[in-house]
Amino acid sequence: MLLVGDGDLWLMSTPMGQRGFFYDEFVHGGSDWERFSGPVTENPRIRPDQVEKEREKLGKAGFAQDFLCQFVDNGSTRFATEMLEAALDDSVMPLLV
């Protein structure tokens, strides 16, 4: 439908690990996307003491994801996302059997 009406697609979310459509487009989507991020540390309406309570409650990774808008590796995979992405090399030809 976006193509028919020459529409725009707006994606709004908090990061949920280093996987999925939102992550792929935000990190690797190229210049077709305009990206905005609003970490809690840039919001003058939220008191620092409230921020610290949330940081203590959620822990480092949870706070970074939910309040600092960071795509953190949640540790639920055997290999880190950065390691897997670094291993991909389009210049290497696959072995044919």
71 φψ region: left (φ > 0), alpha (ψ -120 to 50), beta (else): beta
d(CA 83, CA 57): 29
Mind listing the pLDDT tens digit for each residue in 18-73? 888 999 999 999 898 999 999 999 999 999 999 999 999 999 989 999 999 999 87
pLDDT at residue 94 greater than cutoff 90:
no
Q: What is the pLDDT of residue 79?
A: 73
Q: Report if pTM > 0.75.
A: no
* Residues 6 or more apart in contact with residue 23 via CB below 8 angstroms: 15, 16, 17, 71
